[in-house]
Amino acid sequence: MNGPIKLRVERLQARFGDHHVLRDVTLEVPASSVMAVIGPSGCGKSTFLRCLNRMHELVPGASSEGGVYLDGEDLYRRGVDPVLLRRRVGMVFQRPNPFPTMSIRDNVAAGLKLNGFRGRLDDVVERCLRQAALWDEVKDRLRAPATSLSGGQQQRLCIARALAVEPEVLLMDEPASALDPVATAKIEELMHELKERYTIVIVTHNMQQAARVSDRTAFFYMGELVEAGATEKIFTNPTEQRTEDYVTGKFG
Amino acid sequence: MKALVLRRAVNVAVTVACGAMVVFAVAPLGSLLWLVVSKGVAGLSLSFFTALPTPVGEPGGGVGNAILGTAMLVGLACLVGLPLGIGAGVFLAERGDGPFGRAVRFTAEVFSGVPSIVIGIVAYGIVVVAMRRFSMIAGALALALLMVPTLARSTEELVRLVPGTLREASLALGVPAWKTSLRVVLRTAAGGILTAVLLAIARAAGETAPLLFTSLNNQYWNVRPDQPTASLTVQIFNYAISPYEDWHQKAWSAALVLLLLVGSLNLLARLALRRSAAGGRA
């Protein structure tokens, strides 16, 4: 809210073939804050998130128009390499997806290794696992396969993996929806710490979660951004009737 | 109650039927294996693995040069066939949805139905005629051509089984698409692809027809790729069609040696994979 604008989205349209899934979305995300994106299933939340690191265009038939600006730089301008962009805008997915053939350590180091990083990986691995609040649980078995971890640990491993390439923005697509309440609490706690250093955009189905973790909230409905503002305001005194109906549980 | 009795009866009937099918399918294989082992074991000795063949009637002698020849032929074939086959398979799975990909897939399917002797003729026409000489390289090329289509198709199927979420995870880390295909997707499918490779090697090692007029045969040791080379299968063929009793015995023993070689290669590769992916997916 107070920091400089990190991400600015201007008149963003997204389509899958003829299906128009995002209409005219304009939105700003301040640096070092958490923005929650809420709305019923199929409202375009995930598509919106995937437009921010240009993962949307990887789906066959998908297209988008409009602008996404990171620190004022248009990400859709000609000459922007989406591969390099994705190192600045990291992503954590709905289901934990560690690389099953790699150890815990190699999963964290994967982004660096695959991008040809030559240096001391051990320091990076430790730093990222500490940041993801996983270090104490795995420090004695870094060589164990990533699949030997529990679901919640795997998701924190995926967060550590995303942090290792030192992104500026972290996109989280319902990161806790496949986890139990204890693991969810850990992820939420983690987000409070991470927002000191990163700008976070999180898609969530869980409105309590949005209220707990975010500074600002954006409500999407049927592909449109209905309302965005300070989380407190969205949940207690929204401007739009549709927002109020949704956050009070009248539909969705 | 009546429905339950009926369901149990059907269950028993189907289980018995499935079991009978298994016995029916495995019995000929088992008897074949037993035949090769029982007839072949008599001629086995250490020198059978190391010595050169002897003329008719002369005792002793072995298939050492044929073992080396088969190993080199298959090794050379792998050198050409594995990168081509696996590469084509990854291409088909990751980028093969266009007209070019469909054409490649169709060609591979047709190609895998071509009789191996025809492949041998192709290698004869391309290499033997041009070099004016039978050679190991011609035989290896024929075997490689045999491996590529089936390997490409099975690699494609295995790569398609890798969940899209892993691909996304890698791309979201800023890893280029080609590196994602090779270092993440292919690596995840490696266990299955190893099985496909082993099957391809076993098939290639057991081929006779494409070698008959490519690598021909050789009574002596040979490591030069431009020379005719002995192979276990052609040696078995020659021994088996001969009218001599002791050569028949050698054919059985050589067949057993081939089975042992392919079998132990299989076991070794599986052990290696299990060790490298300890605890991970098999």
* pLDDT score recorded for residue B279: 43
Interchain proximity A101–B190, CB inside 8 Å: yes
* pLDDT score recorded for residue B281: 40
Q: How confident is the model at residue B159 (pLDDT cuts 50, 70, 90)?
A: very high
Residues 87-146 of chain B with CB under 8 A from chain A are 97
Instruction: Compute the count of residue pairs across chains A and B with CB atoms less than 8 Å apart.
Output: 82
* pLDDT score recorded for residue B273: 76
Interchain proximity A144–B174, CB inside 8 Å: no
Query: Which chain B residues touch A110 with a CB distance below 8 Å?
Result: 170, 173, 184
pLDDT (tens digit per residue) in B219-276? 889 989 899 999 999 999 999 999 998 899 999 999 999 999 999 988 888 887 777 6
Tens digits of pLDDT across chain A (252 residues):
457 899 999 999 999 988 999 999 999 999 999 999 999 988 899 999 999 999 999 888 899 999 999 999 999 988 899 999 999 999 999 999 999 989 999 999 999 988 888 788 899 999 999 988 899 999 999 999 999 999 999 999 999 999 999 999 999 999 988 888 888 898 899 899 899 999 999 999 888 999 999 999 999 999 999 999 999 999 999 999 999 999 888 775
- What is the DSSP code string of chain B? -HHHHHHHHHHHHHHHHHHHHHHHHHHHHHHHHHHHHHHHGGG--HHHHHSPP--TT------HHHHHHHHHHHHHHHHHHHHHHHHHHHHHHHHTTSHHHHHHHHHHHHHTTS-HHHHHHHHIIIIIHHHTS--HHHHHHHHHHHHHHHHHHHHHHHHHHS-HHHHHHHHHTT--HHHIIIIIIHHHTHHHHHHHHHHHHHHHHT--HHHHTTT---SS----TTS----HHHHHHHHHHSS-HHHHHHHHHHHHHHHHHHHHHHHHHHHHHHHHTTTS--
Residues 128-167 of chain A with CB under 8 A from chain B are 144-145, 147-148, 158, 161-162, 165
The verdict on A68 touching B (C-beta cutoff 8 Å) is no
Average pLDDT, chain B: 91
As a whole number, mean pLDDT of residues B78-104 equals 93
Over 60: is that where the pLDDT of B172 sits? yes
pLDDT (tens digit per residue) in B190-219? 888 998 999 899 999 999 999 998 999 988
Considering the four listed CATH numbers 3.20.20.70, 1.10.3720.10, 3.40.50.880, 2.40.30.10, the one that applies to the domain covering B62-231+257-275 is 1.10.3720.10
Cβ neighbors of A214 (< 8 A, separation 6 or more) are A34, A35, A36, A202, A231
As a whole number, mean pLDDT of residues B32-60 equals 90
* pLDDT score recorded for residue A2: 59
| Residue ranges per structural domain of chain A | 5-101+168-247
Percent of chain B with pLDDT over 70: 98
CATH 1.10.287.90 fits A5-101+168-247, yes or no: no
Query: Which chain A residues touch B183 with a CB distance below 8 Å?
Result: 114
Looking at per-residue confidence, does B278 or A62 come out higher?
A62
- Please, how many CA atoms are within 13 Å of residue A188, restricted to the half-sphere of its CB? 21
* pLDDT score recorded for residue A97: 94
Query: Structure tokens of B113?
Result: 């139905």
Interchain proximity A93–B165, CB inside 8 Å: yes
Q: Each residue of B157-187: b (16+ CB within 10 Å) or e?
A: ebbeebeeebbbbbbbbbbbbebbbebbbbb
* pLDDT score recorded for residue B208: 92
Chain B residue nearest residue A85, CA to CA: B174
ipTM of model: 0.88
Chain B residue nearest residue A109, CA to CA: B173
Q: How confident is the model at residue B277 (pLDDT cuts 50, 70, 90)?
A: low
Chain B residue nearest residue A82, CA to CA: B174
* pLDDT score recorded for residue B20: 97
Of B97, B183, B281, the CB nearest to A100: B281
Of A58, A93, A100, the CB nearest to B280: A100
* pLDDT score recorded for residue B142: 96
| Separation of alpha carbons B178 and B182, rounded Å | 6
